[in-house]
Structure 1
């Protein structure tokens, strides 16, 4: 077990940590300079040296460490990690038993008691995301815990903790058998091609599972669908399988076209009957307006921050303008699916963006559905920032 350092919490933050807030920030600690090596265990104490909680030192964009226990005597060792993993898996029993879905999250960071790590399951393969050198220092215990908890085909990992918070690109394979990629996984009966060995992204964002399902089951039939920031076209696949008259997928990345073709093909959809456009989304909106193109369903799922040669996009600053662009190409009584994974603001502010955009466009609207993270992405009430996903289905018109 790593030796513990006592970190003194500033007076005004003591109650916050006592109530279970799991993220440790540098500005809440009096003597953060005592932290030297990532992975070190620390005790949070008040000015009178009374114990509050214990955690580990791991630098990521969110803070300098995570609380692991409020039990002073608890050891942070293999049994600790195994217990957390076991409890998390028990919470996902229904997912393991689901025949139509075999890709889901089995461990969701602080929502399952250990911030800085997520573990996803892809048809027998585990994918671990490490978000700091600190949590990565516990790799041996965590891998052992996974091995003890059931059969698996192989384990892959993504290291996302270089000095700029970027993905560290090296061999992602850890142990077991190497996958034959792409693996075709099932999600609510839909097929998606995933690559666990090809860079930071695997080809599908599992947190949007419920949204893809409702698009297929409720919103797509006979509709002309525009999917912006389309990545590998996962929403377009869901719309096509739901009976959309046509889908148009738009993304700036050149590889998005071949990846989207692959996803359509995995579902037996004729990709030549769909439009796949490699273009800056904002340029596409201008093009659509010039050509008088309109859509019944417009999907907006931009990255929180993106930079191209022409512009920089920040969700917190630019989302109202994006919604206005979507309004301009949406048919009366059409639906805009507005989504964001930004943790810097909540649903109330996001709805404010919608209200602002429609007001400035002098259009009426009604929110007809809203979604946040699915059940396998467990969160904790003490850390509302962890429930980052916000999705609104907005009907244009009365």
Structure 2
């Protein structure tokens, strides 16, 4: 039985924690040096010795752990995790029953009551992503709780924290039967090829489900579409299925081409009728301007931070410039889908980037639609950083 370590919370942070803020940061604690071990159980008290919460210690980005309970007598055993997972599964009942969608998020960390790990569902297979060594100490309890509640065909894990040793083949696979490679899953009747044992990313970002559906159903028919930072081409596939005349997918990663070809192929789309380009997106923008190329629909979904030989991109600093380059190659009355998963700013600031980009290019625009995370990516009001996705459909007006 682990000993509980008592931590003193600085008065300037206590009010937030009392109100439900779940993340424990180093600057919030007076005696953080008392904690020596990842996974240690910690109890938090204010300067008046009033109990604020109980959780665990685990280094995750700027965080140093998560509050999991407001009950001082809580035990973080299998039944604790089982109750949280049971509630999460009930929240996704409609997705489990939807035959058109067989991949979604089952458990979304602090949004479902336990910060530090997520669980994704892929047609009977489950993938747990661990974000700190601290939460990884509860691996057995989490797996047992999951197995008590659902029929797990096969189980995989992703260690999203720095661990000792080299990455071994098959390290992601835990138990059950191995998924076929690729495993074909569905999302709103679109097929996607995923690889559950292929490093941190499996081939599709599940948080863009609603956006892909909207692109397919409302914005693609008869359009010439540019998909930048295209990864495996999921947006391009949605656009092609929505009746796009042509899609152009641009990504710097060499493997993006074969992956995008595969995604087109599993949907019965002739990939040779599409353009799939391995190139720095910023180089491509210059090429498009030089060749006077214009697109009806331009999709911008860059990583929060990226570095190539000639460019460093930071969403917080450089998104306005990225938008300005996109505006230059968008047809009048065309649509720009501006997306970011950067958690350091909210939708208001993001809209400020859009306003600034159009002001500097002398153009007018209209916001047609906005999206944040889909319902399976559950968030809580007390932790706004958890609601990281911001997507805006912008019409470039004549």
Pairwise mapping of residues 1-398 of structure 1 onto structure 2 (< 5 A)?
A: 1-162=1-162, 171-397=171-397
Over residues 102-128 of structure 1, what are the superposed CA-to-partner deviations in whole Å (9 max), with x where a residue is unaligned?
A: 100000000000001000000000000
Give 5+ residue unaligned stretches, structure 2. none
Q: Aligned with 1:66: secondary structure?
A: strand
Q: Aligned with 1:98: secondary structure?
A: coil
Deviation at 1:47, TM superposition (A): 1.7
Cα distance in 1 for partners of 2:355, 2:168 equals 41
Q: Aligned with 2:66: secondary structure?
A: strand
- The alpha-carbon distance between structure 1 residues 256 and 364, as it changes in their structure 2 partners (threshold 3 A), is same
Matched-pair contact (CA < 8 Å) for 1:160–1:168: no
Matched-pair contact (CA < 8 Å) for 1:169–1:199: no
Matched-pair contact (CA < 8 Å) for 1:78–1:142: yes
Over residues 264-319 of structure 1, what are the superposed CA-to-partner deviations in whole Å (9 max), with x where a residue is unaligned?
A: 00000000000000000000000001111000000000000001111111000000
Over residues 52-99 of structure 1, what are the superposed CA-to-partner deviations in whole Å (9 max), with x where a residue is unaligned?
A: 100100001030000000011111111101111111001111110001
Deviation at 1:163, TM superposition (A): 6.9
Deviation at 1:13, TM superposition (A): 1.1
Over residues 216-238 of structure 1, what are the superposed CA-to-partner deviations in whole Å (9 max), with x where a residue is unaligned?
A: 00000000000000000000000
Runs of 4+ displaced beyond 4 Å: 167-170
Matched-pair contact (CA < 8 Å) for 1:232–1:257: yes
- The alpha-carbon distance between structure 1 residues 198 and 163, as it changes in their structure 2 partners (threshold 3 A), is closer
Cα distance in 2 for partners of 1:228, 1:364 equals 22
Cα distance in 1 for partners of 2:21, 2:224 equals 45
Cα distance in 2 for partners of 1:2, 1:91 equals 32
Deviation at 1:168, TM superposition (A): 5.8
Deviation at 1:200, TM superposition (A): 1.1
Cα distance in 1 for partners of 2:162, 2:354 equals 36
Over residues 347-368 of structure 1, what are the superposed CA-to-partner deviations in whole Å (9 max), with x where a residue is unaligned?
A: 0000000000000000000000
Cα distance in 2 for partners of 1:352, 1:168 equals 42
Over residues 158-178 of structure 1, what are the superposed CA-to-partner deviations in whole Å (9 max), with x where a residue is unaligned?
A: 0011079xx966510010001
Matched-pair contact (CA < 8 Å) for 1:223–1:244: yes
Matched-pair contact (CA < 8 Å) for 1:117–1:135: yes
- The alpha-carbon distance between structure 1 residues 373 and 260, as it changes in their structure 2 partners (threshold 3 A), is same
Matched-pair contact (CA < 8 Å) for 1:104–1:121: yes
371-380 or 3-12: bigger deviation: 3-12
Matched-pair contact (CA < 8 Å) for 1:78–1:145: yes
Over residues 178-208 of structure 1, what are the superposed CA-to-partner deviations in whole Å (9 max), with x where a residue is unaligned?
A: 1111001000000000001011110000000
Cα distance in 2 for partners of 1:100, 1:163 equals 37
What is the TM-score normalised by the length of structure 1? 0.98
Cα distance in 2 for partners of 1:214, 1:16 equals 37
Cα distance in 1 for partners of 2:14, 2:278 equals 51
What is the TM-score normalised by the length of structure 2? 0.98
Matched-pair contact (CA < 8 Å) for 1:159–1:168: no
Cα distance in 2 for partners of 1:327, 1:364 equals 10
Q: Aligned with 2:99: secondary structure?
A: coil
Cα distance in 1 for partners of 2:199, 2:47 equals 45
Equivalent residue pairs, number: 396
